[in-house]
Structure 1
Amino acid sequence: MTGAHGMTGANGMTGANSRNGGTVRLGAGAGFAGDRIDPAVELARHGELDYLVFECLGERTVAAAQVRLLADPSAGYDPLLAARMRAVLPVLAGRAGSGSGTSGSRTGRRTRIVTNAGAANPLAAGRRIVSIARELGLPARVGVVTGDDVLDVVRRLDPVVWETGEPLSAAPEELVSANAYLGADGVRLALQQDADVVVTGRVADPALYLGPLLHEFGWAEDDWPTLAAGTVVGHLLECAGQLTGGYFADPGTKPVPGLARLGFPFADVGADGGARLSKLPRQRRPADHADVHRAAALRGRPAGRLSDPRRDR
């Protein structure tokens, strides 16, 4: 069962979004637990985003978070959560309140944050974000999505392990982590409760992006082609820097100067699920259609519905 919980740091960030041309702009703030923070800050400052998404969780990292939680009940979330929030919350709060921006049609936008940095303890992560917002004197309403931790359920059911043919309880090692992949609905529910920041545990990676699209466009839960298109966009964006040059670069064969400045992508997504992927112009090497197809192929998803910026100019 998915639960969406509300936490309030103050009265909530101000500034309502009026979509530019009927699109929603989603930006990738991280693609893995240890990802760099500076590209996210650049997107927060210059990207004119509706949503900034930090994808920070994998099977190994959620298990490691469970181990930290066993040692400290107040721990268990992503170690870089506080650093990321301290870096971007002041930028986003300033943009929403000032009405300043680099693109006239998107000035003064409210940019909301979605992240799975809650890892093994999303409630503690939510409380940490509220604490940071208060410390910085910033308004923030935080939504927490729970329900992915099924460790107690798995222990109770004691299933047969496929590889050994024996009950799980017969394994010599202690079971420390069992998480279900939640979908996008919990994220959507949290956004409907007007959360400025949504923090989750283990959800499917593209759900971090699909949730905002469900909230913004109200897609029907059985509109499979459009849901599939939104899922593809989410899969691509959660690759972060791999989408904007990481998959292209091959040191020694295809060296890319200034690779540390390749930047992270964003996408303008329409109500039909079509998307235009791009990046900030000040960063090295623009997003390339070939990178998109490489990322889609590695994710096992077609990229046929994504537009080619070279054709669409």
Structure 2
Amino acid sequence: MIPSPPSPLLIGCAAGFSGDRVDAAGPVVDTLIARGGPAFLIFETLAERTLALAQLRRRADPDAGFEPLLDDMLRPVLARCLAHKIRIVSNFGAANPLAAARHIQAMAAGMGLPAPRIAVVAGDDLSGAQHEPLLDPLLRAQLGAAMDGIRKVSANAYIGAEAIAAALDAGAQIVVAGRVADPSLTVGPAMSHFGWRADDWDRLARATMAGHLLECGAQVCGGYFADPGYKEVPDLHAVGYPIAEIDSDGHCVISKAARTGGVVSLAGVKEQLLYEVHDPAAYLTPDVVADISAARLSQVGPDRVALSGVRGHARPASLKVNVCHEGGWLAEGEISYAGPRAEARARLAAEVLRRRLPGLALRVDLIGALSIMGDDAGRLLAHTPAGDARDVRLRVAATHADRAQAERLPREVTALYCCGPAGGGGVRTSLTPRLNTLSCLVPREAVPLRFEMLEGVQ
């Protein structure tokens, strides 16, 4: 007798970046429960700068360094997920997955819930001194003089789905990771549920692209698609978050949480499918090289789009590592001008700052008149005659390695209150440490991956 294939797997995404809406998970979980069957909830909360900032927070507090909104995101749905056997996978561990897992453990205890089995995925963080003999020669060989004088803040490899799948196979109800690749949050559950091998390239590629569609949350449900009068999206204020239904061969249907706004359409899914894909025939991930050059999308129902035709090739031999390093200071200042000749007064204020701040390369924006289309060198601003904009916000920014030099800019912008030109108001200034990023490749075998069940959880 031929065994029946495993049940399709539902994976809902409740966050697409750090700082995403904290009420997104509720409707997704409601929908997963209503549909029934095996299901996962994923939260994707990392970006390159997000992770470096998390490393800085961990430096200041060894118990910090994970997603700041973890409690707000997870608490509203934790009890229901555990009760309905919806397992949770996320990279909200950021720079400190163990601390995030302990926080969830304490959260569950405080809510009177049975202790969940929480797995911590480790291996991506190459920031410690023990990794320097491996990382520093590779950085120097690949990046050369770009490494001169830098002070590293963090170094993290983009790891794949295998450790997630192994943790789920071991019975984890919640998996907390750091810098796993975004699609791997979907690939890991699919590998575990369907029992796929780590070299089942076509299936892994299909699940990877399902994860790619999920990874930005509401983006695929119309959020980043909306453009009034051109690409209409209903009830954007209540936009839903996506759910992928994945079959045993990795093919998927993308839908969204029930009774939410937004739209899952062919055009919107096409945009997300091509988002950040450098080569449609060779989309590199730690798990597989995905080929979407023959992919097919079809609308199979209201707010339901099917993806097929994805193929896969052997995964890369190397893993990408992002190295964030100290980049000096970013100084910013803003002041508003309104009424007759507002734009001319804003331009005069910018010229005053240029003359008062020799040695600083200023970025000048006239918000409301000339900003997005400007350039850091100020060429367009200098060669564009003043218009008649009557509501202009002047923004001036500069970076410098020396904090004392950068601090000159906020002081000079504040001085415009009384030193002119006329009518300036609403000054805001800031001074923040700047982080820069370099990337290199490391051999896959140099990044051993593992998972550990949180101590004390039975």
- Report if TM-score (shorter chain) is over 0.5: yes
* Alignment match, 1:22: 7
Closer/same/farther in 2, CA of residues 195 and 306 from structure 1, 3 Å limit: farther
Unaligned runs of 5+ in 2: 281-291, 307-458
**What is the deviation of 1:234?**
0.6
**Can you list the C-alpha shifts for 1:60-117, whole angstroms capped at 9, x where unaligned?**
1000000000001111101011221211102323xx3xxxxxxxxxxxx410100000
**Can you list the C-alpha shifts for 1:221-257, whole angstroms capped at 9, x where unaligned?**
2211111111110111112101000232025654534
Which SS does the other structure have where 2:198 is aligned?
A: coil
* Alignment match, 2:145: 166
Tell me, yes or no, if structure 1 residue 304 matches structure 2 residue 277: no
Aligned counterparts of 2:92 and 2:268: Cα–Cα separation in 1: 26
CA contact (8 A) 2:90 2:175 kept: yes
Closer/same/farther in 2, CA of residues 212 and 309 from structure 1, 3 Å limit: same
* Alignment match, 1:247: 224
Aligned counterparts of 1:92 and 1:190: Cα–Cα separation in 2: 18
**Can you list the C-alpha shifts for 1:46-65, whole angstroms capped at 9, x where unaligned?**
33371000000111100000
* Alignment match, 2:122: 146
What code does the residue aligned with 2:126 have? V
* Alignment match, 1:267: 244
Closer/same/farther in 2, CA of residues 86 and 43 from structure 1, 3 Å limit: same
Closer/same/farther in 2, CA of residues 72 and 226 from structure 1, 3 Å limit: same
Closer/same/farther in 2, CA of residues 211 and 62 from structure 1, 3 Å limit: same
Aligned counterparts of 1:63 and 1:253: Cα–Cα separation in 2: 38
Tell me, yes or no, if structure 1 residue 187 matches structure 2 residue 178: no
Which SS does the other structure have where 1:271 is aligned?
A: coil
* Alignment match, 2:111: 136
What code does the residue aligned with 1:151 have? S
What code does the residue aligned with 1:26 have? I
RMSD: 2.5
CA contact (8 A) 1:262 1:285 kept: yes
* Alignment match, 2:96: 121
**What is the deviation of 1:219?**
0.9
- Of stretches 47-56 and 229-238 in structure 1, the one that deviates more from structure 2 is 47-56
What code does the residue aligned with 1:308 have? Q
CA contact (8 A) 1:229 1:305 kept: no
Greater helix fraction, Structure 1 or Structure 2: 1
Which SS does the other structure have where 1:123 is aligned?
A: helix
* Alignment match, 1:57: 46
Aligned counterparts of 1:309 and 1:148: Cα–Cα separation in 2: 39
**Can you list the C-alpha shifts for 1:137-195, whole angstroms capped at 9, x where unaligned?**
11211111011111235533423457962373x32x42110001110011111111211
CA contact (8 A) 1:274 1:306 kept: no
Which SS does the other structure have where 1:178 is aligned?
A: strand
- Of stretches 126-135 and 150-159 in structure 1, the one that deviates more from structure 2 is 150-159
Aligned counterparts of 1:166 and 1:58: Cα–Cα separation in 2: 26
Which SS does the other structure have where 2:166 is aligned?
A: helix
What code does the residue aligned with 2:119 have? G
Aligned counterparts of 1:150 and 1:239: Cα–Cα separation in 2: 26
Aligned counterparts of 2:120 and 2:142: Cα–Cα separation in 1: 35
What code does the residue aligned with 1:240 have? G
- Of stretches 155-164 and 36-45 in structure 1, the one that deviates more from structure 2 is 155-164
Aligned counterparts of 1:280 and 1:228: Cα–Cα separation in 2: 25
Closer/same/farther in 2, CA of residues 79 and 120 from structure 1, 3 Å limit: same
Bigger RCO (CA 8 Å, 6+ sep): 1
Closer/same/farther in 2, CA of residues 36 and 309 from structure 1, 3 Å limit: same
Closer/same/farther in 2, CA of residues 312 and 183 from structure 1, 3 Å limit: closer
CA contact (8 A) 2:27 2:258 kept: no
Tell me, yes or no, if structure 1 residue 200 matches structure 2 residue 177: yes
* Alignment match, 2:195: 218
* Alignment match, 2:32: 47
What code does the residue aligned with 1:143 have? A
Unaligned runs of 5+ in 1: 1-18, 97-108
Which SS does the other structure have where 1:30 is aligned?
A: coil
- Of stretches 276-285 and 67-76 in structure 1, the one that deviates more from structure 2 is 276-285
What code does the residue aligned with 1:86 have? R
